[in-house]
Structure 1
Amino acid sequence: MSSPTPDPALCATRLRSAVSQLARQLRSGSVAPDGPSVAKLSVLGQLHLHGPCTPTALAALERVKLQSLTRLLAELDAEGWTVRTPHPSDGRQWLLSLTPEGTRRLKALMRSREAALAEAIGAQLDAGQRALLLEACGLIDGIAAALDSGAKAPTP
């Protein structure tokens, strides 16, 4: 006798809850208590992923109003994470990018969080479960792509 097919709504609720809890743990100070805030990490991650961006494009990527980022961007600049440079084709704008030191610090944070995650995976999952987790990651990537396909990414 086969088990009933899980309801998509139940799957969605369970997935959202699990991903949210894991994201909170990875972003929390428990892994890197002296690191940047969640909001700063999010902006730094966008710059790492997308490269130099105008503040407007960065606000669109973050799905916030530009005014909400102004102070945070100034802090990242003052803390040496980012640098502002003139836009190459529009003199009225500027580009924000990670500094070499900001990139180094961000990569160090990412490594420490991935190491903590790898330790937890190693302690909690056997080889078969780890293989299943990798398959699930592919499924999650597909779901994320499907959700994103309706939203046009802003041009940096």
Structure 2
Amino acid sequence: MSKPQNAHGFAEALALAGDLRLVLGRLKRRLREETQLGELSWTQMRVLASLDREGPTTVSSLARAEGMRPQSMGELVAALKSARFVVGEPDPADGRQTVLSLTDAGREHVKRARAAREDWLAHAILGRLTAEEQRRLAKSLELIQRLVDA
């Protein structure tokens, strides 16, 4: 990525980048606080959400996505199986592998967690932002999406 022509412009962009990172980090932490996980860890919730979003996959693929060792992911998945949130079936292409997918209970758990976060956020938007501020927030999402897609 190229640097803006003037140092002042870059300094302002750098300060904005730091502020944006901090605010988004705080938002992420706050959304986590609003979610009832039961006895699940955040990593287990991310695995369930990944299976919900991406569909069935292997322990190895999940481990790569989470930056974990396959053995550690295997332990995590075993707990999700015990909780009946995940089920494993032999991979039709490679019988040595197991393909993991969500159970109905796992899908419902992900759905409830997302609903709790979105409910809190919707109430915060309605309770703290004016109609004009809500429109500005909606427009800013387009800009943030462009940054994410860069």
Superposed CA deviations along residues 102-137 of structure 1, whole A, max 9, x for unmatched, are 101210121122111111111111111111112222
Instruction: Find the aligned partners of 1:66 and 1:35 in 2 and give their Cα distance.
Output: 22
Aligned equivalent of 1:58? 62
CA-CA distance at 1:94 after TM superposition: 1.0
Q: Which residue of 1 aligns with 2:147?
A: 143
Q: Which moved more, 1:34-43 or 1:83-92?
A: 34-43
Number of positions where the alignment pairs a residue of Structure 1 with one of Structure 2: 142
Q: Which amino acid aligns with 1:19?
A: L
Name the residue aligned to 2:22: 17
The structure number with the bigger radius of gyration is 2
SS at match of 2:56: coil
Q: For 1:145 and 1:55, how far apart are their aligned partners in 2?
A: 27
Q: Secondary structure at the match of 2:99?
A: strand
Counterpart in the other structure of 1:131: 135
Q: Deviations over 1:40-60 (max 9, x none)?
A: 111111111111111111112
Residue identity matched to 1:34: G
How far apart, in 1, do the equivalents of 2:29 and 2:136 lie? 23
Q: For the residues of structure 2 that align with 1:107 and 1:43, how far apart are their CA atoms?
A: 14
Deviation at 1:33, TM superposition (A): 5.8
* Shift in Å, 1:36: 2.6
Percent of counterpart pairs with the same letter? Answer: 33
* Contact 1:46/1:61, CA 8 A, preserved across alignment: no
Cα 1:27–1:141 shift into 2, 3 Å: same
Distance across 2 between alignment mates of 1:114 and 1:70: 30
Q: Deviations over 1:82-115 (max 9, x none)?
A: 1111112111111111111110121012112211
**Aligned-pair RMSD on alpha carbons?**
1.8
Which residue of the other structure, out of 21, 34, 41, is the alignment partner of 1:37? 41
Task: Determine which of 12, 24, 29 is the counterpart of 1:7.
Answer: 12
Query: Is the contact made by 2:56 and 2:102 (CA closer than 8 Å) also made in structure 1?
Result: yes
Unpaired segments ≥5 residues, structure 2:
1-7
Give TM-score scaled by structure 2 length: 0.85
Match of 1:151 in 2: none
In the other structure, the counterpart of 2:5 is none
> Is the 1:81–1:102 Cα contact (8 Å) retained in structure 2?
yes
